[in-house]
Amino acid sequence: MSESATNPPDYNLSGVDFRRPIPRPKVKGITVDFHSHLQAARHGQLWFEAADHFGIDCFVTMSQLEEALGLQRDWPGRIQFIAIPKWGEWNEGFIDEWLKRIESFYNIGSRIAKFWFAPPAIGERKWRLDSEMFAPLLREVRDRKMAVMTHIGDPQIWYDSKYADTAKYGTRDDHYQMWENVLNEYANVPWIGAHMGGNPEDFDRLQGLLDRHPNLNFDCSATRWMAREISARREEAREFFIHNQDRILFGTDQVSNNDRGFDFLASRFWVHRKLWETAYVGPSPILDPDFPPDKQPQIRGLSLPDEALQKLYHDNAIKLLAKIGVSFEAWG
């Protein structure tokens, strides 16, 4: 028996043939992944090979500024950028540097800025999105008529374990009050709450956020997290997606890397298409490290109606981008 058979890779535990032909999503127009991380121009060839196979045409992506022009040159008409800071450089002048990078991304066509405020940003960096420290960034984005994407919250299983020290990290309720303080102040700015607003375990919370903030949308990115939690509450999730079908954007949170080949990238696309389009009930090919190997969560697909899929994969993204003056049909 081969080594691969005895030790399958953690992105294909069940031996799926990811190159097996698959129909395109039942969508009129392009399919848009609104949340991804195409890290480098050298990753583009495999990235788009896997994307083409699964019928995903265009990406709104978080790439470092130093790679953005190369990606824009190599894949015209298929990428729009989300402005991000230079990760890891949190010295005294990082706010000024972040402002410069927002301007630079804006100058190559970006009209969205990302703010990462997961619990480690709050507990370890002592950041708060509603503090005066970040006000210049939010005002800059508003004044440039850009949209905002925020990562607030994290999986509940992490709140129950790695963030259990609430004296350090605060509580989920604290984190969401911080977010709403800013949403209230910037009520006219188009807003995307990444990863189903960071709380797919609680649809009541998510519905309240949408009801109180008409400018807010969610993306459904983060493959393992969504597969686990959406599947665990399949009927409630399906009802939520249909009820809010005008407010949810398709996203994978796919991340490229020098070591991530076709099958790794394909595994994420495969899971998302099973989860949203089909009634598949069965194992995920991707190892969920939050659970023991013998207790892996199953996928329970939502089999969303065609109308909801059309909006999820295409319409909502195109409409939101149009609000901020962005199209995949032309630069900027």
Res 4 pLDDT > 60: no
- Per residue in 155-209, pLDDT tens? 999 999 999 999 999 999 999 999 999 999 999 999 999 999 999 999 999 999 9
> Which pLDDT score, from 0 to 100, does residue 90 have?
74
User: Is a pLDDT exceeding 70 seen at residue 74?
Assistant: yes
Decide if pLDDT at 2 tops 90. no
Instruction: Answer whether residue 226 shows pLDDT above 70.
Output: yes
Among 227, 169, 179, 182, residue whose Cα is nearest residue 206: 179
Q: Give me the pLDDT at residue 330, please.
A: 62
Q: What pLDDT, on the 0 to 100 scale, is given for residue 289?
A: 97
Rounded distance, CA 116 to CA 84, Å? 9
CB 67 within 8 A of CB 39: yes
What domains can be seen in the chain, in order of their start residue? 3-116+146-151+190-200+210-323 (3.20.20)
Name the β-bridge partners of 255: 37
pLDDT of residue 6: 72
pLDDT digits (tens, 9 = 90+) for 115-155: 999 999 999 999 999 999 999 999 999 999 999 999 999 99
Determine the pLDDT at residue 41: 96
- Among left, alpha and beta (phi > 0; psi -120 to 50; other), residue 88 is left
* pLDDT beyond 60 at 331: no
Run of H or E including 281: strand 281-283
Residue 47 CA to residue 255 CA, distance in Å, equals 9
